[in-house]
Structure 1
């Protein structure tokens, strides 16, 4: 190995969180290096949220046209997967090079390999030994491994986003948000789609009353759901793949042209040799305290999806990275305060949630008002032919404060943000009902959702 190189800060991961920490630290006069074992720019920009929404875009037009068929739309549009992928690459292709150019311009030294800890402040990367006063882990998450025979034939979300042409049939293993989102895209592009789920229902983290509505909408697209299915083996055939699974006491099989692992994602820490760095971690990620500092190694911080702090969402990783940078530069003075974090499944219609679930609300408060309705007859849904529109809003009866909101419908991913603001500001139902919103708008429907 070459001689030891020294830095004030070494950041592992070039996604949103890693970049923000590195930028803040170098601008504060610290010497900074950064490393990544994949293309620079991280998951969200290269192979996650952003390209996913690009693939979703044309299906929104497609669905709207079908909803309004015979109601002003004379001819339904056709979707073109190849042209969509070409359009998507106009966004993603430039990300790695532009990210590297930006970091280089700031004077940050770059490495293209996953570092390994040799000690509490020592790393090995690209055959070099690195010592850093502070080390930041911002490696995000990767697809969960299933440890089954034939796993090498499984595709991941990365592969779906890069598909050159759509297959005739797709099988998704896992009915989480990634599986559902991709299933909706694939089904609208004409794929025969099946979702195999080990549990008894889809989307465990979301309100099951609204999930059942989403499943109805999914089935209307031709998506088939198989629950309580334990995957045993993946077998490669001539053109197809055969999945062997167990359902109850019976062993069954199903075939598809492609099989995708959408069983979830786990913290990307396997290659870091955290034990040698005396870094505490669990299956949930790198253990951190309120300063986003590791609970065992005080010179290590973590932020973004890899930290065990909260939900793995990009907006939250931004907040965490700001905390980490401040505490490295000025010493531990700033604690993380997690606001209400909304979450969205970008199916069509969207499924969105913020705050407490019905179960959590009833456990925390003595009396809870549950406003729950399916309302495809409301004006905004009827005018665009949307058959699936529902909500569940939870109020603390004593204070009339909104404590949870769950939405299914067009633009629910936008409307939920107002509920997030209301919960964060501790607004009551009356506070919101007094506000004047544009009409007729999806936002204005909030007032009707709060009627008791």
Structure 2
């Protein structure tokens, strides 16, 4: 006899777990399943452990900048000690996370789940019926279709390295590659990034990205733009020390391979996939559940409900929604799903502000409209691009790369978008997120008295009109 549940959740990250708990609190019979450890990407193999490593790399960078300006010794990273410290943030999570769900009365399973019908989920050979199903399976590295692709490590592997190789090549110019490249370079590795066009870090302001690329090169990161990866070859596998060779072809301005230039060949001890992620839904057998999807994820309506199977909802990186693939957005969409499951479809997600940060050193951040988007949508736009490296906030730590670009509506006197490159970008961008969310005008912000000298006290200089 098939067991029945009010809700089956697939995925235990920030979206899945919160919806499961919200529905269980209302008395629903809820089950949750994950093919991996409980806790999701952010807590176990993403944002949180990454930021621990970034913290150490930032300290290395800051002491290096202050040599001859008061500092006499440079900080150095002991990789083994750093990874042991990182594990104090991650090792306890799977057990604690699962226990919390069980204590709430939620049925927990481990295994691969897939649809066996429109309201049927099969797990480890057993079939369960559900009135409602939430897909919250996140994302996974996108397939590259390159010879030797099986030799590529992924972000999970990098965050669990017992020893840091002497040389690393990151494939793709996304935030994973750039963040990890900055960590590895500060830890003493030779680092290369290869990217298939002239525009890495898609989603961030191109002018600030250019500044970051140039600064990254000054700290020893080799960045190869407009090259196409052709092959990854394993050269040696002795005593746990592997050697790889990556071959890439240079591209012309029109995107075609430039046959007149020699191939780029790089040897390394580790090659890492950083060329984007895709919705983690291939294993779900969605066709059997009548669930429509695209390469962007589960097709959903404004209520985050499947457009083809009303029993099914999706949230987070696996949903084809307007939300960026970020943990706070997954949490935001989870609140929408929980409300609509419990109360009927009556709530949509407000994506007014979606702050995003790549934790390079310095960081790059964005919120609101890009310059290109603003100029297309609004006629009365002012763009303010300011170099802040001479400002006290950055000069006191000898930070060489610090700039901001603000997109302003001169008629409404509001902030349409903000883009920041600096060691303080992650905090500064949140002030602009508040302004965009609350529709504060430039004059509203200038009325605020900020503590001085602080990051926020620079807002007044940025907003002079």
TM-score by length of structure 2 reads 0.95
The aligned residue for residue 43 of structure 1 is 41
CA contact (8 A) 2:352 2:436 kept: no
The aligned residue for residue 392 of structure 2 is 379
The aligned residue for residue 242 of structure 1 is 245
| Number of residue equivalences | 450
The aligned residue for residue 119 of structure 2 is 121
SS at the partner of 2:408?
A: strand
The aligned residue for residue 310 of structure 2 is 298
Q: How does 1:166-315 map to 2 (within 5 A)?
A: 166-238=164-236, 239-248=242-251, 249-250=258-259, 251-309=263-321, 310-315=323-328
CA contact (8 A) 1:82 1:165 kept: yes
Q: Deviations over 1:389-445 (max 9, x none)?
A: 100001112111110100011121011011011111112212211211111111111
SS at the partner of 2:228?
A: strand
Of 340-349 and 106-115, deviating more is 106-115
Q: In structure 1, what is the Cα distance between the partners aligned to 2:53 and 2:427?
A: 18
Q: In structure 2, what is the Cα distance between the partners aligned to 1:76 and 1:259?
A: 28
The counterpart of 1:360, out of the listed 365, 373, 378, is 373
Shift of 1:333: 2.0
Shift of 1:85: 0.3
Q: In structure 2, what is the Cα distance between the partners aligned to 1:77 and 1:255?
A: 28
Q: Deviations over 1:336-363 (max 9, x none)?
A: 2223110001011110100000011111
Q: Deviations over 1:99-135 (max 9, x none)?
A: 1111111111111112111111011111111100000
Q: In structure 2, what is the Cα distance between the partners aligned to 1:152 and 1:68?
A: 42
The aligned residue for residue 140 of structure 1 is 138
Q: In structure 1, what is the Cα distance between the partners aligned to 2:117 and 2:50?
A: 38
Q: In structure 2, what is the Cα distance between the partners aligned to 1:88 and 1:185?
A: 14
The aligned residue for residue 423 of structure 1 is 436
Q: In structure 2, what is the Cα distance between the partners aligned to 1:90 and 1:255?
A: 33
Q: In structure 1, what is the Cα distance between the partners aligned to 2:220 and 2:126?
A: 54
CA contact (8 A) 1:111 1:126 kept: no
The aligned residue for residue 402 of structure 1 is 415
The aligned residue for residue 25 of structure 1 is 23
SS at the partner of 1:65?
A: helix
The counterpart of 2:163, out of the listed 162, 165, 169, is 165
The counterpart of 1:414, out of the listed 409, 427, 433, is 427
Shift of 1:139: 0.3
SS at the partner of 1:444?
A: helix
The aligned residue for residue 239 of structure 2 is none
SS at the partner of 2:383?
A: strand
Q: In structure 1, what is the Cα distance between the partners aligned to 2:351 and 2:456?
A: 25
Q: In structure 2, what is the Cα distance between the partners aligned to 1:406 and 1:440?
A: 21
The aligned residue for residue 85 of structure 1 is 83
The aligned residue for residue 54 of structure 1 is 52
Q: Deviations over 1:270-311 (max 9, x none)?
A: 000011101111111111111111111100001111111110
The counterpart of 1:15, out of the listed 13, 20, 33, is 13
Q: In structure 2, what is the Cα distance between the partners aligned to 1:308 and 1:189?
A: 37
**Alignment of 1:317 onto 2:302:** no
The aligned residue for residue 110 of structure 1 is 108
Structure 1 unpaired stretches of 5+: none
Q: CA RMSD in A?
A: 1.0
CA contact (8 A) 1:17 1:304 kept: yes
Q: In structure 1, what is the Cα distance between the partners aligned to 2:414 and 2:101?
A: 45
Q: In structure 1, what is the Cα distance between the partners aligned to 2:105 and 2:447?
A: 52
Structure 2 unpaired stretches of 5+: 237-241, 252-257
CA contact (8 A) 2:172 2:273 kept: yes
